[in-house]
Each structure stands twice: as C-alpha cells, then as structure tokens.
C-alpha cells in the first residue's frame, strides 16, 4: 500500500493543485507534451497565451537555447500553419500553431485542410472573442468551430474553463494517434484569463474514439491471417509492395524494409511515401502514378501480387481503378484505417492494425515457418525496366534543364537532405530526380496540392531538424504566394537553401492548356508580372540583423560550383535564394 502511495506521489505533477490562469494552463500542457517550438502570430484575442509563453520562457531558461519554447513569428498565419506542418512532417512530432481570432484563425484554414489530407499531426490554438460575445458579430469574430469542423480531424470550442486542461491534452492525443491529423482548439479570451486549479493530469472522455482506436490496436495478426498471406506470396512470381504515406506516418519504414529485403520484394512508393524505401536500393522502383517513373508503372502492370501498405489507391495512382494492377491475381492491404479497405480497389486479403507491429509480426511468422521463394526472374525484369525506362532529358541542350539542376544538387546531398517543394512541375521533377535514403526527408503538399507550401515548410523543417541540410525546390508561381516568409528565414537565421525554377508562369497549368485547351494560356502566363527573385532575396537578407548579437547575413546569386561542366544555366530560368548558415564568430559573414 505504501509502495502504491509513493508511486502515486512520484507521478504527481509538481504544479498539481496550484492556481493557474487559463493561458498558463495551456502553456503548461504544451510544455508537458514536449513542445519546443510554436509557430504563431499574435492578436488581441490570443494575447494572454502569448504572454504566458513569454513568462514561461523567462522562468525556464535552457542552456544553449534562446528559449525553452521558441516562438516563431511568420509573415502571416498561413505561413505559421505550413511551418508547423513542415516541422511535423520532418520530425514526426505534433506541430503547434497559435493564432488570434477572426482572420488569424481563417488564415489557417488552408494549412489545416492540407494537413488533414496528408495526415499530418497539428494542434492549432485559436484565440476567440469572450464567450458572452460569441454569435454577436463581435470584432474579429469568426465561427471557427463551424469552419474548421469540415476540414480538421477534430475541433474544440472551450466554453467551460474547467475542461481547458483536459481539452488541451486530448487535442494532442487526437492529433498524434490513429490516423494523424490537425486538431483545432478555439479558446475564448475570458477562458484564457480564468483562474483555477491545475490538475496535472486527465483527458476528456473520448469513449467512441478510444474504442475505435483500441479495436485497431488490439487487432493483432492471427496465425491464420499470416498463413493466408504467405500462401498468396508462395503462389506469386512477381510480388510488389505499393507503399503509401501511412508507412511513414506509422513509423513503420524499418519494418517494411525488413519484410521487403527478407524476401526480395520490390517496392514502389506514392508521392507521400518517398523515403519509405531507400530509392538507391536495386529493388526500389521510386514513385508510381500519373507523375511517377515509367519503370514503376510498368512493374505495377506486370505484378501478380500487389501488397499495399498504408496506401489509399488515390486517383493520382489508380486513376482508373479497374485497370490498375490488371495482372494482379491477388491484392493484400495493410492499413490503420478501416475506411480505406475496399474504398477504391477491392483487396482479397487485408488487415487493419498498427503497421509497424503487424509487419514485424508478419516477418516473424515467415521466419518461423522458414518461408522461402526465389523471385530471381522478377528481379531481372525489375532491373531491365529501371534501365530501359530510366528518366532522361536532353543533356546536350544549350539551355537550362531543370532536371540537371536537381541531379546536380542530388549529387551533393546524396539523398540525405530534407527537400521541400511548392506545387507544380518543379514538385514532380524534384520527386522524380532526388534520392531519399530515409523517411521524413521529403516534404510536399500531396493531396491538396497547395502552392506556397515549400518555403514555410522548409523553415519549419529546419527548426525540427537543425542537423540537416534543408532545401526548398520551388517554382516562381508557387513561391510568390508566401514569399514574405523569406523575412522569417532571415529573422531566425535558418540556414535553408531555396532554389527557384523560374519559367515565368504556371508550368503545369500551361502544360494542360497546351494539351487540352488549344494552347490558350488563360491566366497562366506571368510575363507581365515577372519578379526579380534575387533582388527580393537580397533585400530580405540585407535588412536582417540578429538583435542579440548584431549578426548580419548576406547572400549572392547561385554560383556555378554546383553546375555540371559545360552546362549553361540562364538566369531567366533559374534563380537562387539566399543560404543562411549559423553564426560562427563576431566577424564572420557567410555567403553562397
């Protein structure tokens, strides 16, 4: 009995029973959840929480860090949302956004929907007008719960201050568990100013959600299910793993690679799963689908057993579901979401559970029964497909080839850099020509295809992975949408690299207009709105100064050190943005 009492005493939160304001409660829960970076923009309705962050950092200095909980202020709230998404995608942790009411909240709608579509865990904390003013069209009021309810994983409007602490903890639980996604917490100003006892524990009674989650977690692979899977594999001569973004979200990359390597099963990935399989591996087929490589698509055509892992057969992969994998006699489907099974393509073997555990258990069963099968003929066909249908371009052209730029950067990054992109042709070139040795190195807006994603996502990723080189491959149309975040990059001295492939227009849209609309470039030609991106970068860099150290940063345009010999790169087509490196001394100024 004494031991139990002691255990309970040790587990007791040090602030339990202490009176805290609602704002301090929010910040303390963030600290308890391990949040080290917040992306947000202040405003009247969120000021109490912003002030609480300041006071928390003042009371909790951390050696070697500017703050225990760094607050990153973007140019606008959409930038904050995409920074948090980049942080979450690169780290696997929950990204945190903090914005004011009304326009502050509505500016996060696109990042919230983008994160929902790509299963990215976010917690978005919105200030709201006082509870008594809700519904009166008060200054900077917006119906956040109604707006976000259709696009977020869950939305909370806190009207009972006593539930604020539990609501914040539940928001993190919902964001990171099951199929990850964004959770929005709308906190009226009077709730932030409320004073009450901090409990230090507890969550909301989300019985339905937890029951569904428990059902998935408890759904272990049975020996019978494993036996049926290996029977299908034994009957196959050309098995193929089709990996989706769920593999990365579930941190199941290693387990999937072990299963594939043990039996020599080739792997192709979706856009969202790049890095799930080491793209330099002989049996890696890189990306499939509309913008995928030909060899991967031909392999899907030829396979006789398709093993979908964390994939949803979306329209960019299986545009015509009836003709997708036409020679596959059997399809197996692993997923964490019951809704994905049979939604687009019928599978005759499926399992809904925890991917990392289930793939590990499947491999263990195979070893237990000493499963073995020679897929040598299939491996030769894969090698032939990769050689015969390798990506290529006019290497003798005197004009810039964007593929050559990416290839050269890839030669230096060796598949180990974090790559973010905007949306458009440059996005697909980057997906095709970059290598990814590990997961969480590829950050792009997949399902929503949101232009303006690349630059803020790169900034967020650099905060998440300060040890990694972070490169934003962007297009002139895409980067213009959030180009104000260049100032954020310089303000916080984030050493991101930004490459703009500038073709003076919306390249992918123009491509479709040429193919299907008689070449009429309606609204897609930006020649009348051309921008000098180098000058914009210089203006941003030259005005940036670190207030605490007096550090200046500067840049110069992209040099030829990364360019293959004999190639000509026209400034009108390629623009480089500044590269900022950590300060290395009072007299040091680093340029690229």
Active site residue 77: yes
Supply angle C-alpha 349, 116, 425, rounded to 5.
Answer: 90
Residues in CB range of 228: below 8 A, 6 or more apart:
349
Quick count: other Cβ atoms within 10 Å of Cβ 216?
A: 17
Beta bridge partners of residue 505, listed in sequence order = 525
Residues in CB range of 371: below 8 A, 6 or more apart:
230, 233, 234, 263
DSSP state of 537: H
CA nearest neighbour of 355 among 208, 219, 182, 173? 219
Q: 70, 140, 432, 567: which is the annotated catalytic residue?
A: 140
First-residue to last-residue Cα distance in the chain: 66
Would you give the distance in Å from CA 261 to the centre of its chain? 26
Active site residue 215: no
Q: What is the C-alpha separation between 317 and 267, in angstroms, rounded?
A: 15
Q: Which two tokens stand for residue 288?
A: 């499939």
Active site residue 237: no
Q: 18, 54, 65, 139: which is the annotated catalytic residue?
A: 139
CA nearest neighbour of 185 among 133, 116, 122, 118? 122
Q: Cα–Cα distances in Å, from 536 out to 73, 482, 527? A: 20, 13, 17
The HSE-up count of residue 520 (CA atoms within 13 Å, CB side) is 4
Active site residue 463: no
Supply angle C-alpha 406, 412, 417, rounded to 5.
Answer: 80
Q: 28, 39, 50, 77: which is the annotated catalytic residue?
A: 77
- Are 310 and 335 in contact, with CB atoms under 8 Å apart? yes
Q: What is the C-alpha separation between 503 and 517, in angstroms, rounded?
A: 20
What is the residue whose two structure tokens read 């040790």?
10
Q: 508, 526, 569, 577: which is the annotated catalytic residue?
A: 508
CA nearest neighbour of 442 among 417, 477, 406? 417
Q: 33, 82, 153, 189: which is the annotated catalytic residue?
A: 189
Q: Cα–Cα distances in Å, from 199 out to 16, 26, 418, 571? A: 5, 12, 40, 60
Active site residue 313: no
Active site residues: 77, 139-140, 189, 508
């Amino acid at each position: 009995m004494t031991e139990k009492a002691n255990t309970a005493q040790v587990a007791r939160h040090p602030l339990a029973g202490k009176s805290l304001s609602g704002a301090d409660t929010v910040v303390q829960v963030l600290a308890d959840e391990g949040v080290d970076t917040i992306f947000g923009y202040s405003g009247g309705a969120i000021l109490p929480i912003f002030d609480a962050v300041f006071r928390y950092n003042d009371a909790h200095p951390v050696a070697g860090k500017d703050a225990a909980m760094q607050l990153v202020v973007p140019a606008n709230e959409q930038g904050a949302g995409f920074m948090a998404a980049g942080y979450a995608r690169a780290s696997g942790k929950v990204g945190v956004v903090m914005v004011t009411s009304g326009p502050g909240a509505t500016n996060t709608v696109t990042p919230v929907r983008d994160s929902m579509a790509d299963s990215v865990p976010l917690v978005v904390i919105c200030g709201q007008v006082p509870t008594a003013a809700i519904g009166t069209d008060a200054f900077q009021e917006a119906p956040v719960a109604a707006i976000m309810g259709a696009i977020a994983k869950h939305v909370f409007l806190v009207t009972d201050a006593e539930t604020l602490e539990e609501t914040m903890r539940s928001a993190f639980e919902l964001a990171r568990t099951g199929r990850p996604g964004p959770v929005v917490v709308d906190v009226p100003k009077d709730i932030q100013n409320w004073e009450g006892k901090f409990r230090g524990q507890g969550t909301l009674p989300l019985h339905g959600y937890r029951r569904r989650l428990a059902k998935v977690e408890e759904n272990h692979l049975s020996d019978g299910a494993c036996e049926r899977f290996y029977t299908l594999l034994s009957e196959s001569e050309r098995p193929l793993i089709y990996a989706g973004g769920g593999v990365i979200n579930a941190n199941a990359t290693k387990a999937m690679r072990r299963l594939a390597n043990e039996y020599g099963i080739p792997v192709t990935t979706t856009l969202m799963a790049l890095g799930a399989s080491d793209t330099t591996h002989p049996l890696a087929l890189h990306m499939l689908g509309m913008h995928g490589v030909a060899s991967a698509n031909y392999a899907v055509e030829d396979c006789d057993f398709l093993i979908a892992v964390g994939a949803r057969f979306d329209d960019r992969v299986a545009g015509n579901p009836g003709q997708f994998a036409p020679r596959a006699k059997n399809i197996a489907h692993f997923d964490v979401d019951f809704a994905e099974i049979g939604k687009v393509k019928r599978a005759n073997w499926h399992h809904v559970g925890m991917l990392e555990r289930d793939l590990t258990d499947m491999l263990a069963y195979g070893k237990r029964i000493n499963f073995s099968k020679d897929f040598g003929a299939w491996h030769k066909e894969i090698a032939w497909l990769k050689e015969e249908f390798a990506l290529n371009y006019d290497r003798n052209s005197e004009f810039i080839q964007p593929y050559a730029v990416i290839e050269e950067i890839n030669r230096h990054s060796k598949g180990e850099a974090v790559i973010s992109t905007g949306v458009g042709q440059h996005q697909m070139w980057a997906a095709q020509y970059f290598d990814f040795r590990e997961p969480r190195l590829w950050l792009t807006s997949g399902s929503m295809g949101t232009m303006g994603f690349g630059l803020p996502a790169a900034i967020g990723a650099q905060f998440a992975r300060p040890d990694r080189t972070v490169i934003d491959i962007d297009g002139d149309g895409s980067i213009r949408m959030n180009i104000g975040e260049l100032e954020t990059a310089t303000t916080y001295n984030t050493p991101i690299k930004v490459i703009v492939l500038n073709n003076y227009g919306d390249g992918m849209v123009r491509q479709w207009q040429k193919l299907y609309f008689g070449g009429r470039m309606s609204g897609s030609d930006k020649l009348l709105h051309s921008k000098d991106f180098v000058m914009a970068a210089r203006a941003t860099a030259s005005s940036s100064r670190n207030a605490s150290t007096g550090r200046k940063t500067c840049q110069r345009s992209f040099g030829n050190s990364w360019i293959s010999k004999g190639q000509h790169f026209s400034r009108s087509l390629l623009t480089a943005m500044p590269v900022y490196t950590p300060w290395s001394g009072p007299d040091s100024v680093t340029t690229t």
